[in-house]
Structure 1
Amino acid sequence: MNHSNCDFSYMKEEILLGLQQLTTKLQHTISFLDGDDCILCNLEEFREELSQLESVAGSYYLQCYLSNYTEKVDDLSLCLKRLSSRRHGALIVVQGNDDVHSMIQKGTEIEALLSSSLVESIFYPGNPLHDGAVLIRENTIVSAANILPLTTTNITGKLGTRHRAALGITESSDALALVVSEETGSVSFALSGSLYPIQV
């Protein structure tokens, strides 16, 4: 997927700076291996920093990829931020070139212009449409409460139904899926059968 036109230079700078700082710390820690110092705490700190960098990198590439799918990148970004802060679980599928209708159990037709407020209202707890996935094509919310195929891949770690569905639809199409965890408010995106954490 082409993301050469993506211009989120502030994110790239943050990633580069983080990698440079981590490299310096790693080189410093390597020098301790000649002595008797315990480096377990350092390794835990590196893991946390690397996880943080992964989220920043995920956010950068999500913005790049989304710009190939829809002009409403800002609306989706705002929507994810608000859903995350409220811990409102959500699953959003942004269709690519592949028609996904044959892969999903269709929910309720919407056919409305994509906006942050409309997507947020769909996933408001108690809304009859909040279970299942919202399907977006270009700048339109096509439908809500869609049921997606779950991944058949054996996954290590605990993943809920939304994450398994996001992986499932992206394993069999070029769609991009966005997931907000109801438990933690964390946000991820799935593409080509892989899941990536992002910062919002």
Structure 2
Amino acid sequence: MEILDIVINSVKNISIFSVMDILVVSYIFYKGYMLMKETRAEQLLKGIVLILFLIPVSDLLNLTMLNWILSKTITIGVLSLIIIFQPEIRSALEHLGRTAFTDRQIFANEETVQKVVNEIVTAIGNLSVSRTGALVIIEQFTGLEDIIKTGTRIDAIVSSALLENIFVVNTPLHDGATIIRNDRVVSSGCFLPLTENRELNKKLGTRHRAAIGISEKSDAIIIVVSEETGTISLVLNGNMTRNYTEEKLRSTLTKIIKKRQHKKLTFRERVIQWIKNKKDTR
């Protein structure tokens, strides 16, 4: 009965702010786990949990030497965690740095959006028919300047003819990613980070893994054409959907880009827009 009374009193004393505090902390832990899931950090985290479990067990069993070693390991644990989880910490900060509340416009107007999408889709369709491998990135709010620098600067108006020529086999720029910013092809032959997701289909090649890798680190829209099958794939936020037709690709790109177009909104409207954008990318 005493335990029941304690529980009842505790529940009565919980305020709305306590509930909010619990929900926020739970969300942070959940997002942290999702960032580490299927990466090397997940295995390292399991090792740390095992060490924390063994410390009281070794003390209980009077395993003095083991307990001393484990305790000293935890003592320097904070510094070790920063070093060990450096890639994951960087990834988390990049996620936090992406903002849906930016004042930057991706495209000047809807007419530009439609023109760019049509040119991209036409090129992708032709490359698919000829089974020419391609990797096209449409930059969004996350800047890709560090990736752009790894390729060859072009700075040309987006056109289907230009995109098709870039990916012709054995030409200097075909083996790499082409990045589009607004209505311009800014760079080609760019090198991308590969995903560390071990659950991907083993049949996916380097081009697809690179597309997923950059989508995990940015909000870019990535289009991939398979060299073996001509299959068109769309990659967004680490997720890949395949088997696109030209018409489906055109409508999907238009929908995503238009919803991401910046407008002068109130804070409340921006929060609602951000939530909608997140749903669209799932």
In which range does the TM-score fall when normalised by the shorter chain? 0.5 to 0.7
Distance 1:103 1:142, change over 3 A: closer
Alignment counterpart, residue 186 of structure 1, candidates 209, 224, 231: 231
Q: Which runs of 4+ in 1 moved over 3 A?
A: none
Q: Which runs of 5+ in 1 are unaligned?
A: 1-65
Residue of structure 1 aligned with 2:215, choices 170, 174, 179 = 170
Q: Cα–Cα, structure 1 residues 175 and 137, in superposed 2: closer, same or farther, change >3 Å?
A: same
More strand by share: 1
- Pair 1:129 & 2:183 matched: no
Structure 2: give runs of 5+ residues left out of the alignment. Answer: 1-106, 247-282
Work out the number of aligned pairs and report it: 135
- Which residue is 1:102 aligned to? 146
Q: Does 1:149 align with 2:202?
A: no
Query: Partner of 1:45 in structure 2?
Result: none
Which protein has the bigger helix share? 2
The SS at the match of 1:111 is strand
Q: What secondary structure is seen at the aligned counterpart in 1 of 2:199?
A: coil
Q: Larger relative CO (CA 8 A, sep 6+): 1 or 2?
A: 1
Q: 1:154 Cα shift?
A: 1.2
Q: Secondary structure at the match of 1:121?
A: helix
Q: 1:199 aligns with which of 245, 250, 253?
A: 245
Distance 1:128 1:104 in 2: 16
Which whole-Å deviations, capped at 9, do the CAs of 1:28-47 have from their partners, x for residues lacking one?
xxxxxxxxxxxxxxxxxxxx
Deviations along 1:4-53, one digit per CA (max 9) or x if unpaired, are xxxxxxxxxxxxxxxxxxxxxxxxxxxxxxxxxxxxxxxxxxxxxxxxxx
How far off its partner does 1:104 sit? 6.0
Contact 1:70 1:137 in 2 (8 A): no
Instruction: Tell me, yes or no, if structure 1 residue 111 matches structure 2 residue 155.
Output: yes
Please state whether the residue corresponding to 1:120 is helix, strand or coil: helix
Contact 2:148 2:179 in 1 (8 A): no
Q: CA deviation at 1:102?
A: 2.6
SS in 2 for 1:150: coil
Contact 1:87 1:183 in 2 (8 A): yes
| Partner of residue 12, structure 1 | none
Secondary structure in 1 aligned to 2:213?
helix
* Equivalent residues of 1:178, 1:187 under 8 A apart: yes
Deviations 1:37-82 (A, max 9, x none): xxxxxxxxxxxxxxxxxxxxxxxxxxxxx97x94411111111100
Identity, in percent, stands at 43
Which one of 122, 130, 137 corresponds to residue 78 of structure 1? 122
Rounded Cα–Cα distance in structure 1 between residues aligned with 2:213 and 2:228: 21
